[in-house]
Amino acid sequence: MFELITLFMTGGGSAVLGSLLKGIFGAIVDSRQNTYQLEMAREIRTNEFALKFQEQLNNPSDGRYTRVTRRILALIGMCTLSAVTILTTIYPSVPLLTYTNISGEGTNSFLWGLVNFQASQTPVAITTGHLALFTTTIVYPMIVGFYFTPGGRR
């Protein structure tokens, strides 16, 4: 043991220790460099696949058919919804759903009876006017925004 300590304290021993440390740390650095190069190669392959996928999605020959089909389906949906909205606007007072407090005791309970509050026994009716209001304020803007506005390039 004493000989090893004196070996490392001498000039030749420090050269050996330096070579040993250089070899150990060089192996660590080389393994990290190798890992970095493998990850870079994987990232490049992933980016190439993503670009090819975007190119296939935005291919003008296939994209035109998809756009036209989506817009025709949206036009059919808008025409049907417009007919329903016109009918419900002409006859706004036709009840679609009528409900009252089912227990009949004048209270409504939520969360399995955790929250209770007083309720009237008058029936609540949802009419075709409510349906027309819902379609014109919520459904139409969603359809127009999704189908008829340009999507842009990604």
Q: pLDDT tens, 1-18?
A: 666 666 666 655 566 666
Report pLDDT for 37: 84
> pLDDT band at 82, cuts 50/70/90?
confident
Report pLDDT for 108: 67
Q: What is the DSSP string of the chain?
A: -HHHHHHHHSHHHHHHHHHHHHHHHHHHHHHHHHHHHHHHHHHHHHHHHHHHHHHHHT-HHHHHHHHHHHHHHHHHHHHHHHHHHHHHHHSTT-EEEEE--SS-SSEEEETTTTEEEE---S-EEEEHHHHHHHIIIIIHHHHHHHHSS-----
Report pLDDT for 2: 61
Q: What is the average pLDDT across 119-130?
A: 77
Q: Is the pTM of this model over 0.75?
A: no
Q: What is the average pLDDT across 92-118?
A: 71
Q: What is the average pLDDT across 101-120?
A: 68
